[in-house]
Amino acid sequence: MLRALLSRLRRPPAPPPRGAVSRRALPLWQRALVAGAGAGAAAGAWLWLRRRKRQERERRRREALRALPQGDFALRDQAGTRRAKSDFAGRWLLLYFGFTHCPDVCPAALERLSRAVAALEWDPALPPLQPLFITLDPERDDEAALRRYLRDFHPRLLGLTGSAEEVRAAAAAFRVYAHAGPRDADGDYIVDHSVLIYLLGPDGLLLDCYGSGKSAEELERSVRRHMRTYQPLSPPQ
């Protein structure tokens, strides 16, 4: 077929039969080839444009992520060691804000968080996930209180506390709402607070957050998906 085409190119085209309209008419296979080439070019262009659009969307999403509050903290863990967010660079974090005198919501959330982390630990293909608890009640939740409280949950669950200002700054960095209620005769009070579990990627950026409606299995599935599809952000230009 190629030889015929090449010989056709070398020979001057035959003059059209006398009386016939002078119009070039390619044989069917050549027309099919041209049509195919055209379709291929169109498909290629479409794929290239789609890839460009996707890259643009990714770029805008990354810029938006970078613009979010970085969710910083500088606190102490239950052993008294100073812990800043930068200490966890390169690690996946699953974080919850609560307080130890919490009636039901915090134990339930920590239970879900612990079960999700434990399930993910079984998978050797996944990077390690650090569970983290930050108190919203630094007045009562010192290191000893954290140790007592957290031993009922995941063994690697790290609890963080600090001064009132440090805790307030950490909560503000994650836009966490917290408000201590009125004290009773025993000095007991309940801290009203927003209930979310935060997922942070190895570059320290917030990737997702989970309300109290998300079960441990849903948490596990979502974190697994984030870990599999994770793309590190390029350093800021």
Write out the residues near another protein by the rule CB under 8 A: 100-101, 103-104, 107, 140, 145, 148-149, 152, 181, 184-190
Q: Which of residues 12 and 187 has its CB atom nearest to another protein in the complex?
A: 187
The answer to whether 123 touches 224, Cβ cutoff 8 Å, is yes
Q: How far is the CB of 192 from another protein (least distance, A)?
A: 10
Residue whose pair of structure tokens reads 């919203």 in the numeric block: 136
Q: How far is the CB of 146 from another protein (least distance, A)?
A: 10
Residue type, 48: W
Angle between helices 216-229 and 105-121 (to 10 degrees): 50
Main-chain dihedrals φ then ψ at residue 231, nearest 5 degrees: -130, 120
On whether 209 is known to bind a ligand per the annotation, the reply is no
On whether 106 is known to bind a ligand per the annotation, the reply is yes
Residue whose pair of structure tokens reads 């030889």 in the numeric block: 3
Q: Which of residues 88 and 153 has its CB atom nearest to another protein in the complex?
A: 153
Give the residue ranges of DSSP H helices in the chain: 2-10, 28-67, 105-121, 143-150, 164-173, 216-229
Q: Which of residues 97 and 149 has its CB atom nearest to another protein in the complex?
A: 149
Per residue in 189-208, is it b (16+ CB within 10 Å) or e — as a string?
bbbebebbbbbbbbebebbb
Q: How far is the CB of 95 from another protein (least distance, A)?
A: 20
Q: Which of residues 146 and 158 has its CB atom nearest to another protein in the complex?
A: 146
Q: Which of residues 73 and 153 has its CB atom nearest to another protein in the complex?
A: 153
Q: How far is the CB of 44 from another protein (least distance, A)?
A: 55
Q: How far is the CB of 186 from another protein (least distance, A)?
A: 6
Helix, strand, coil share of the chain (percent; to 5): 45, 15, 40
On whether 193 is known to bind a ligand per the annotation, the reply is yes
Annotated binding site: 102, 106, 193
Annotated binding site for Cu cation: 102, 106, 193
